Amino acid sequence: MALAKDYKSVMGRSNDIMKEALGLDYNDFESGSVAFDYEALMKATGYTLDEVAKIQARTAVGNTPLIELRNLSALARKYAKPGYGARIFAKDEAANASGSFKARRAACAVAHAKKMGYKGVIAATSGNYGAAVASQAAMQGLECIIVQECYDSRGVGQPEIVEKARKCEAYGAEVIQLTVGPELFYTFLSVLEDTGYFNASLYSPFGIAGVETLGYEIAMQCRELVGKDPDMVVCTNAGGGMITGTARGLQKAGCVNTTMVAASIDLTGLHMASDGQFNKKSCTTGHTGFGVPYATDPDHSDVPRSAARPLRYMDRYVTVKQGEVMYMTEALANLEGIERGPAGNTALAAAFSLAQELPEDAVIVISETEYTGAGKHIQPQLAFARENGIEIKFGDPVAEDNPGVNIVLPKDPSYIKAQDADINRFRKSLIKKAITKAGVSELTDADYEFLAVETKTDVDFVKKAIDELGLLK
């Protein structure tokens, strides 16, 4: 009998569809309350860190260079107090097959799909991950479908997303392009069900295990190049996979004192699911429209429990402005001779500011660069912004930036100032959402411990937050 394919029916079968498409039964990790066994989920991949590295090495992924950005470090020191201005390094993930760190996630996921006998893989993404999955599928001999939120209701596509669709198709993938809105995950689930392909999700344990090699390499390369662990690692943050996997890899390398910083472009005021505002943003990822919701509610993804859980690992969450990222993209090319795409330069803009807080002998690493291309370059991005009525000007981004209205390029490098977000507010939001979603009236000791780990705090913090928010009354 044919299954009903209306929206409500398909979404109602999501857990069953995911079980078939991932080969994992997420119920095995549940407690029946708020807590679930995250580490058991991660171990369910069946791969060690060394095995993941070997999988990646077979398809031109991993062992990317760690580059010292000497000229940008020197520039940062001009604006720091005497004796301050850390050495800035970049992990050049553009060297991976497909041109971004997402190749690490894709290599692991696609290899597992092939091992399990799936004929093809599917991913729902408008970002670099689509190209990464398509590239790996081509190398590993599997079919590939990418479901992409691309257009507003006028049929106008954001140039960065269109560029990524082009790259996916170049690797032989089928790209299903959709308008902004709730149809993305419905279509994704429906196609998964129809094809029987593997869900190469960004948020599966296979994807996050693939990023652990990145953190491990950063630790090993820092020890080799400078004789110590990095003092700070800055990760561009959207769905949370980058900081989760990188931090886990650093921990496996024995880095216990490295400060983990998440950095997002501040797009406060723009709604990511709004048709009218979809093309008002100058970037498609690495911004607060993804970073904050996924930090405070990681499980609202395309798997029942996300393996990307950023608040477990971040020590600080900072934001930068659109114009600061574009300025830093140009500075990287002009001063270091390295032309890279915008996502990694979100972390670089933050690191340029944060380096001025640290002494000269400190080491700060940005965890990624990414390829650039026709739609990802800052010039088409700025041209697209103008076409959508956005004012482009030089000034003070912190004081003047208004997402959806203008892009303010810094008058000079002294105006690049990362802003600390209220991470405790995000932690409390996670606690509230987790308890509300579970629908429980009381917590077990295991639940309290789980929420403490989830928020990188302690049980006292969790209990105080619950009292302050009026939960469990």
Domains and their CATH numbers in the chain: 7-22+100-205 (3.40.50.1100), 55-97+208-420 (3.40.50.1100), 423-469 (no CATH)
pLDDT of residue 458: 98
pLDDT of residue 245: 98
Consecutive H or E run containing 409: strand 406-410
CA distance 367 to 104: 13
374 and 163 Cβ atoms separated by less than 8 Å? yes
Going by C-beta distance under 8 Å and a sequence separation of 6 or more, which residues neighbour residue 106? 98, 123, 129, 132, 133, 135, 136, 200, 207, 210
Q: Tell me the pLDDT of the chain (473 aa) as tens digits.
A: 578 888 888 888 888 888 899 888 899 999 999 999 999 999 999 999 999 999 999 999 999 999 999 999 999 999 999 999 999 999 999 999 999 999 999 999 999 999 999 999 999 988 899 999 999 999 999 999 999 988 888 999 888 888 889 999 999 999 999 988 778 888 988 999 999 999 999 899 999 999 999 999 999 999 999 999 999 999 999 999 999 999 999 999 999 999 999 999 999 988 877 888 888 887 778 999 999 999 999 998 888 899 999 999 999 999 999 999 999 999 999 999 999 998 889 999 999 999 999 999 999 999 999 999 888 888 999 999 999 999 999 999 999 999 999 999 999 999 999 999 999 999 999 999 999 999 999 999 999 999 999 999 999 999 999 999 999 87
pLDDT of residue 472: 87
Other beta carbons within 10 angstroms of residue 14's beta carbon come to 18
Task: List phi, psi (to 5°) of 233.
Answer: -120, 130
| DSSP secondary structure letter of residue 146 | E
Start-to-end C-alpha separation, the chain: 47
C-alpha closest to that of 408 among 318, 322, 345? 322
CA distance 8 to 186: 9
pLDDT of residue 152: 87
Tell me if residue 100 falls in helix, strand or coil. Answer: coil
Burial of 460 (0-12, 13-18, 19+ CB in 10 A): exposed
The CA-CA-CA angle for residues 390, 373, 333, to 5°, reads 85
Going by C-beta distance under 8 Å and a sequence separation of 6 or more, which residues neighbour residue 137? 110, 120, 121, 143, 144, 171, 172, 173
Q: What is the pTM of this model?
A: 0.96
Task: List phi, psi (to 5°) of 235.
Answer: -120, 125
